[in-house]
Amino acid sequence: MFIAAFLVGLREGLEASLIVGMLFAAIQRRTSSNIGEGHLNTAARTVWVGVVLAAAICTALGALFTFGRYGLSFRAQEAIGGFMSLIAVAMITGMVLSLSNQGGKLRTMLEDKTGVALTKGKQAMFWLAFVAVAREGIELTLLLWGWMTTPSAVIGAFAGIGVAIVMGWLIYRGALRLDLGAFFTWSSALLIVVAAGILAYAVHDLQEAQFLPGPFSGAPIAPTHPRTGEVLTGFASYPFWMASFPFGWAFNLDEFIDPAGIVATLLQAFTGFMPQMSWLQVIAWGAYLAIIGPIFVGHVRGKKRIDAKKLNNETSSAHTENTRKVS
């Protein structure tokens, strides 16, 4: 889960870092104006107060989610984890599709927000910094709640946030030039696959909690071998072909892939693949990619066509203007 958590932490942290960095850059630019240095220092402290307060709230929320569930029964923990994972999938999908439309305009959008806050004063700057950090932090907490039982997920999330902070600082200092459109497009493509895996993981949790029918439901819901009582697996199931469908196991590769090994860990982090998956998990994973994947590609291609058309119009206008001047 390290890679998936790192990617989510990087994505969520970068936008907040960019907004905060732009606020400090705007404050620094005003140093040369007629605004007093004391006022500028107060404005900078206001931004920091918003950042620290939002970070503290997100940390407290994460601790509440993490430690508050230990008193629950196993079924309750799995049910909450499953539903929280569904919320995470919805949030990732919304974030990915919205940024696929405005990724190239993200810097302009953030600069506009910063400019409006600066004109309204310190209180607006505080709320912009606070909301930027709190929103991304709360989203990150919800996205990772189901993974908090694994230390690698927590480390990955904090590593991603750390890299995002460094990238935001480098952009603020002018030492890093980043094509935000390309960055968010490629990271969004990876997150779509990650979200499909989270959806499959949610189905697994809900099946374990018996909110969804599956291998954990027992007979007669789960298809079982008439003699051994084991849940049926795969296509060639006894007593007839596809007898395991739809509430049995789709496959079981535990003999070939160690569930606790590095290969299984990497596959699950990137794609949500597990050595043993139920039919409902496989269906959910495939259906998500089949639906959201083409929508995302369509958004990206549509945006590229719009940008190309806009560029052609601007080029034609400039050429016409130059021709008139020559004439």
CA 51 to chain CA centroid, nearest Å: 21
pTM for this one?
A: 0.77
In the chain, DSSP finds a helix count (H) and a strand count (E) of 9, 2
- pLDDT of the chain, 327 residues: tens digit per residue: 677 678 778 877 887 887 788 777 777 766 455 455 555 567 788 888 999 999 899 888 877 877 776 777 888 888 888 888 898 888 888 878 877 666 556 666 666 777 777 777 778 888 888 888 888 888 777 777 655 556 777 788 889 889 988 988 887 777 667 777 777 788 888 889 988 998 999 999 999 999 999 999 988 899 998 888 899 999 877 778 888 999 999 999 998 999 888 888 778 777 888 999 999 999 999 999 999 999 999 988 877 676 666 666 666 666 566 666 655
Give the integer Cα–Cα distance in Å for 160 and 6.
4
Phi-psi region at 292: left, alpha or beta (left = phi > 0; alpha = psi -120 to 50) = alpha
Give the integer Cα–Cα distance in Å for 285 and 201.
9
DSSP 277: E
Give the integer Cα–Cα distance in Å for 195 and 212.
19
Provide, for the chain, the percentages of residues in helix, strand and coil under a 3-state DSSP scheme, each rounded to the nearest 5.
75, 5, 20
> Which residue type is seen at 131?
V
Instruction: Say if residue 220 is preceded by a cis peptide, omega within 30 of 0.
Output: yes
Give the integer Cα–Cα distance in Å for 235 and 134.
48
Taking residue 174's Cβ as centre, other Cβ atoms within 10 Å add up to: 8
